[in-house]
């Protein structure tokens, strides 16, 4: 069976169910969908045939905001006040973080994402060259941003500029079309306007994306208004950071005018409902305003330290239920829209294609178990996918036509779990010995 | 392997991890835990030995509010206004419901619960003799209440009294110590004070529990105050329905005085966070007040029509995150408390034992995969169980010493999925033909 994994070959998914119809999906040797339908198998001479019976095909999930290597910190600190959690748990650990830690943390994250149907993610962290190495080995897609934090200090800003430039150059040198670089100004409360303006300008010059945290907490808004006399989205816009290639994470405390601004600029707004609930940010993203504005609302899990998993199927349920609860409307964010947030909107945010099962699109495809209990009965596939199933219903994952998981087998999974667990123990051991 | 399933034999779980220690768990032929520790294996002469390496043992989950047979309605109607959903989707289907439907719906629910680590549930619905038959076959524990609804009409009340008495007599006649009856006054808005008073009196006389919906929506409270001049919990109390054997589901709109009343009466309050969010009830259970009052706060999924699954591991995460978000406190309902809600508090609510892994307790035990990605790294098992894992991490389930699932195999699972799917199709076919 191993020969089917992670090789760029032509693939036929035979007799799979899409929207209630049984079809074939033909994937050519460049990893694109060459045909969908009864006669699709004629479009290619398939090297690999995957039996699609008892399987539902959906587009691969795109996780538009995470800190993948933080999967190593899963469960290290929970149920704490934000400032205590950061100062007592997260920052001491991150001070001891090495490139090897980031490599194994990212490998673990990729394994978890593949097992739950995610094919692409938008990452912001440190030692991103090692994170890129991990992704390069898995066959997933990812966009990497170095977390740019100058705290208003010119010297630090210069260092962050160098680190950003180095990452962008490194990613280009990889020549892996599935791996992109972005600029990662952390937020308006950690980056000066000068730093933000450099990020905006550099992203424009390099024709790459921007990944930024925006209006996660009320404090961020209040402090920004006090310091700069304007709200965070307005400040970002003045610094050239709101573009059609910008992914703004959280967006909880945006007001209606800021939502319109994001819509006008064509920004992607990444909803992170589980993290927002766990950290008690006290307001849910105003999805209705963002949707009305034309902004591209997509979905992300945030890092494992504040979620504590990377399961986009679970995250869709949190999104659809949180929106209904927080905005008091049981009709808000129905299942089909939640699935689109996690797939086509995510793909648009990262520029990885249409994120749909259509001829000419990259073959980023997830096969769900139609016989799973969560798919029984099967009245509406979207409803079951969003509300009843979790990542455990994902059986097979293809990214750009390469098979990353089949029948729940991911090559090398045992080694990744073993090494990541040992790496996490070692990191905590080093941290707690020196503190 | 089939000989290990659903037989009352002595069992040794060898070398399993509990709270970070490796121990044996010995279970005697009556289904009780006879020993836990290094020497526990000496306590019994084991018929069955289960390898506990790479497994974490936790108590079996107890789902304290559901309508199991509604699993047949999973995904039939979603994202609708409550009244539209009931009148256009749920009620027309329920009007065509047969005993066979309830049997297969409950079988499907039991399969789903076992696969996600639940050993006992508190059910309210119709055709409960057929539901009891389904549970009797699975080896789970359940408490059944006929949903008593008189709508203020004396004639209907007499019929509901007869139906309740018949169910209680039927459950007694089964002589299955794992199956209990309860009285099920649906709510203050569907049962007259006379009906409620009969239910309270009858439960007392029969020494059985009461299962009731309480303060799910603001409308329920407003209408109750308008009609009766008092809030719902006060009305239930005056009718003798608040007892230490009462499970009150939802409890979203209780005020602080009502929470104190539930505490004084020793009531169990079943939190149903996913259902409350999906139906946009606009207020989360006031957990902090109920906890302070001494009420027994437990956990339930509600029916699959409003959740849309029965996974108590997922429900724990919804509970812990909703409480933090809704009451603006990241320290509220930490992981350990969420796990206790789903286990010991649930067991107390249904009177099925302490719901803990202790000598002398019924052997209601779940083994989780310690090597699962969601348990990597494994800093705090409770945190991973509540925040990172879902029911897919459950490998083995014992209820009263009987093995209901082992290494994710449940005997008869394929037949249940096939028959339940066919039953659901048939039910919808009959409904849509006649409507």
Task: Return the residue matching tokens 């799910």.
Answer: B216
Residue in chain B closest to A390 (alpha carbons) equals B390
Instruction: Determine whether the interchain pair B425/A377 forms a contact, defined as Cβ–Cβ distance below 8 Å.
Output: yes
Residue A308 to residue B421, Cβ atoms within 8 A: no
* Residue A176 maps to a domain: yes
Q: Is residue B312 part of a domain?
A: yes
Closest CA to A418 of A118, A139, A126, A107: A107
Using one digit for the tens of pLDDT, what is the confidence trace for B158-205? 999 999 999 999 999 999 999 999 999 999 999 999 999 999 999 999
Mean pLDDT, chain B, whole residue set = 96
CA distance B127 to chain A (A): 20
Cβ distance of A79 and B330 shorter than 8 Å: yes
**In this structure, are B126 and B256 located in the same domain?**
yes
The C-alpha atoms of residue A149 and residue A192 are separated, in whole angstroms, by: 8
Contact residues on chain B for A75, CB-CB shorter than 8 A: 377-380, 383-384, 387-388
Please count the structural domains in chain B: 2
The token pair that represents A103 in the structure block: 């490599």
A271 is in an annotated binding site: no
Q: Nearest residue on chain B to A338, judged by CA atoms?
A: B79
Whether B428 maps to a domain, the answer reads no
CATH code of residue A108: 3.20.20.140
Say yes or no to pLDDT of A323 above 80. Answer: yes
Measure the CA–CA gap between B101 and A313, rounded to whole angstroms.
29
**Percent above pLDDT 90 for chain A:** 94
pLDDT tens track for B71-126: 999 999 999 998 899 899 999 999 999 999 999 999 999 999 999 999 999 999 99
Residue A183 contacts B, CB cutoff 8 Å: no
B296 and B337 within one domain: yes
The span from the CA of B399 to the CA of B264, in Å, is 32
For B275-298, write each residue's pLDDT tens digit: 999 999 999 999 999 999 999 999
**Nearest 10 degrees: Cα torsion A5, A11, A15, A16:** 60
What's the CA angle centered on B400, arms B399 and B401, to 5 degrees?
Answer: 90
Residue A419 in any domain: the answer is no
Of A350, A373, A397, the residue that ends a domain is: A350
3-state secondary structure of A299: strand
Residue A71 and residue A50 share a domain: no
Residues 241-270 of A with CB under 8 A from B: none
Among A207-221, A347-361, A408-422, B30-44, the least confident range: B30-44
The residue to which tokens 């089917």 are assigned: A4
Asked whether residue B187 is domain-assigned, the answer is yes
Cα gap B261→A121, rounded to integer Å: 50
Residue A419 confidence (pLDDT):
98
Residues B130 and B20 in one domain: no
Contact B376 A76 (CB under 8 A): no
Contacts across the A-B interface (CB distance below 8 Å): 205
A7 pLDDT tier (thresholds 50, 70, 90): confident
**CA separation (Å) from A362 to A27, A55, A105, A111, A115?**
9, 20, 27, 21, 19
Please name the residues between 146 and 165 in chain B that touch chain A, using a CB distance below 8 Å.
none
Using pLDDT thresholds of 50, 70 and 90, give the confidence band for residue A435.
low
Span B233-261, average pLDDT = 98
pLDDT at A298: 98
The pLDDT of residue A287 is 98
Chain A residue with Cα closest to B386: A308
Instruction: Give the distance from residue B117's alpha carbon to the nearest chain A alpha carbon, in angstroms.
Output: 14
In terms of domains, do B137 and B259 share one?
A: yes
Q: Do A377 and B112 touch (CB under 8 A)?
A: no
Query: What's the Cα-to-Cα distance from A425 to each of A422, B189, B217, rounded to whole Å?
Result: 5, 55, 47
pLDDT beyond 80 at B435 = no
pLDDT in tens, A291-300: 999 999 999 9
Q: pLDDT digits over A242-278, tens only?
A: 999 999 999 999 999 999 999 999 999 999 999 999 9
DSSP assignment, residue A409?
B
Residues A220 and A320 in one domain: yes
Residue A1's pLDDT is 47
Domain region containing A23:
2-59+362-413
**Mean pLDDT throughout A374-395?**
98
Answer yes or no: do A18 and A121 share one domain: no
pLDDT reading at A385 higher than 80: yes
Query: Which of B277, B330, B390 has its CB closest to that of A314?
Result: B390
Residue B430 lies in a domain: no
The predicted pLDDT at position B1 comes to 47
Residues in chain B: 435
Residue A214's H or E segment, with its range, is strand A209-214
Q: Which residues of chain A are within 8 Å of residue B334 when distances are taken between CB atoms?
A: 78-79
CATH of the domain at A35: 2.30.40.10
The answer to whether A373 contacts B111, with C-beta atoms less than 8 Å apart, is: yes
Q: Alpha-carbon distance B19 to A220, whole Å?
A: 39
| Residue A39 confidence (pLDDT) above 90 | no
Mean pLDDT value across residues A329-341: 98
Is residue A15 scored above 90 in pLDDT?
yes
Contact B57, B70 (CB under 8 A): no
pLDDT at A13: 97
Does B34 share its domain with B70?
A: no
User: Which segments of B are annotated as binding site for Zn(2+)?
Assistant: 65, 67, 213, 302
Measured between alpha carbons, how far is B22 from B37 in angstroms, rounded to an integer?
8
Quick one: CA dihedral A346, A350, A312, A5, positive or negative? positive
Within this chain, do residues A36 and A144 fall inside the same structural domain, yes or no? no
Does the CB of B83 have a partner CB in chain A at under 8 Å?
no
Q: Would the pLDDT of A82 be above 90?
A: no
SS3 letters across chain B: CHHHECCCCCEEEEEEEECCEEEEEEECCCCEEEEEECCHHHHCCCCEEEECCCEEEEECEEEEEECHHHHHHCCCCCCCCHHHHHHHHHHHHHHCCCHHHHHHHHHHHHHHHHHCCEEEEEEEECCHHHHHHHHHHHCCEEEEEEEECCCCCHHHHHHHHHHHHHHHHHHHHHCCCCEEEEEEECCCCCCCHHHHHHHHHHHHHHCCEEEEEECCCHHHHHHHHHHHCCCHHHHHHHCCCCCCCEEEEECCCCCHHHHHHHHHHCCEEEECHHHHHHCCCCCCCCHHHHHHHCCEEEECCCCHHHCCCCCHHHHHHHHHHHHHHHCCCCCCCCHHHHHHHHCHHHHHHHCCCCCCCCCCCECCEEEEECCCHHHCCCCCHHHHHHHHCCHHHEEEEEECCEEEEECCECCCHHHHHHHHHHHHHHHHHHHHHHC
Q: Does B398 touch chain A (CB under 8 A)?
A: no
Q: Which residue of B has its CA nearest to A280?
A: B325
In whole numbers, what is the pLDDT of chain A averaged over residues?
A: 96
Q: Which two tokens stand for residue A223?
A: 């402090």
Smallest CA-to-CA distance from A371 within B391, B414, B111 is with B414
Taking the Cβ of residue A379 and every Cβ of chain B, the question of whether any pair is shorter than 8 Å is answered with yes
- Closest partner residue to B384 (CB to CB) among A74, A81, A413 is A74
A122 shares its domain with A255: yes
Q: Provide the pLDDT for residue A226.
A: 98
Q: What does the alpha-carbon distance between residue A105 and residue A21 come to, in Å, rounded to a whole number? A: 39
pLDDT mean over B322-350: 98
| A161 vs A40: which has the higher pLDDT | A161
pLDDT tens by residue, A406-427: 999 999 999 999 999 999 999 9
Query: How does pLDDT run across A177-216, given as a tens digit for each residue?
Result: 999 999 999 999 999 999 999 999 999 999 999 999 999 9
Structure tokens at A252: 């909880």
List, for residues B355-411, the tens digit of each pLDDT value.
Answer: 999 999 999 999 999 999 999 999 999 999 999 999 999 999 999 999 999 999 999
Contact B277 A321 (CB under 8 A): yes
A379:B277 CB<8 A: no
pLDDT for B41 equals 87
Chain A residues 339-378 with CB within 8 Å of chain B: 371, 373-374, 376-378
B-chain residues near A277 (CB < 8 A): 321-322, 324-325
Over range B46-65, report the average pLDDT. Answer: 97
What DSSP assignment string belongs to A25-63? EEE-TTSBEEEEETTGGGG---SEEEE-TTEEEEEPEEE
Closest CA to B197 of B156, B242, B144: B242
Same domain, A147 and A262: yes
Residue A431 lies in a domain: no
Q: Is residue B423 part of a domain?
A: no
CA distance B363 to chain A (A): 26
Q: For residues A387 and A20, what is the distance between their CA atoms, to the nearest angstrom?
A: 18
Tell me if chain B has a CB within 8 Å of the CB of A315.
Answer: no
Whether residue A74 lies within 8 A of chain B, CB to CB, comes out as yes
Residue B424 has pLDDT above 80, yes or no: yes
Residues above pLDDT 70, as percent of chain A: 99
Same domain (yes/no): B56, B96: no
CB atoms within 10 A of CB B263: 18
Given an 8 Å threshold on Cβ–Cβ distance, is B417 in contact with A76?
no
């Amino acid at each position: 069976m191993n020969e089917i994994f992670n090789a760029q070959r032509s693939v036929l998914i035979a007799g799979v169910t899409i929207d209630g119809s049984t079809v074939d999906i033909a994937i050519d040797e460049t990893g694109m969908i060459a045909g969908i339908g009864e006669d699709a198998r004629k479009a290619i001479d398939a090297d690999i045939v995957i039996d699609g019976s008892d399987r539902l095909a959906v587009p691969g999930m795109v996780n538009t905001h995470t800190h993948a290597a933080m999967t190593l910190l899963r469960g290290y600190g929970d149920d704490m006040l934000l400032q205590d959690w950061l100062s007592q748990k997260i920052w001491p650990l991150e001070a001891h973080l090495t490139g090897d830690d980031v490599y194994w943390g990212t490998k673990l994250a990729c394994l978890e994402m593949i097992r739950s149907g995610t094919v692409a993610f938008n990452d912001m962290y440190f030692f991103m060259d090692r994170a890129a190495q991990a992704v390069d080995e898995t066959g997933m897609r990812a966009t990497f941003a170095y977390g740019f934090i100058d705290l208003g200090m010119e010297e630090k800003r210069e260092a962050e500029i160098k680190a950003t430039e180095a990452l962008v150059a490194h990613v280009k040198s990889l020549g892996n079309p599935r791996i992109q670089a972005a600029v990662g100004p952390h937020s308006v409360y950690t980056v000066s306007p000068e730093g933000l303006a450099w990020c905006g300008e550099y992203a424009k010059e390099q024709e790459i994306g921007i990944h930024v945290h925006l209006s996660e907490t009320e404090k961020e808004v209040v402090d920004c208004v006090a310091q700069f006399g304007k709200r965070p989205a307005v400040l970002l816009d003045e610094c050239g950071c709101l573009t059609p290639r910008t992914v703004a994470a959280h967006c909880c405390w945006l007001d209606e005018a800021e939502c319109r601004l994001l819509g006008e600029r064509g920004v992607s707004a990444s909803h992170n409902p589980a993290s927002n609930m766990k950290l008690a940010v006290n307001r849910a993203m105003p999805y209705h305003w963002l949707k009305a504005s034309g902004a591209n609302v997509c979905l992300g899990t945030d890092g494992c330290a504040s979620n504590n998993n990377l399961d986009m199927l679970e995250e869709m349920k949190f999104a659809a239920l949180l929106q209904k609860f927080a905005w008091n409307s049981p009709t808000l964010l129905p299942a089909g829209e939640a699935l689109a947030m996690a797939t086509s909107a995510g793909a648009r945010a990262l520029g990885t294609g249409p994120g749909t099962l259509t001829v000419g699109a990259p073959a980023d495809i997830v096969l769900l178990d139609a016989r799973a209990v969560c798919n029984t009965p099967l009245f509406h596939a979207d409803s079951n996918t969003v509300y009843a199933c979790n990542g455990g219903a994902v059986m097979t994952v293809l990214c750009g036509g390469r098979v990353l998981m089949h029948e729940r087998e991911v090559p090398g999974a045992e080694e990744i779990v073993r090494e990541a667990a040992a790496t996490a123990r070692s990191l905590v051991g080093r941290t707690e010995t020196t503190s």
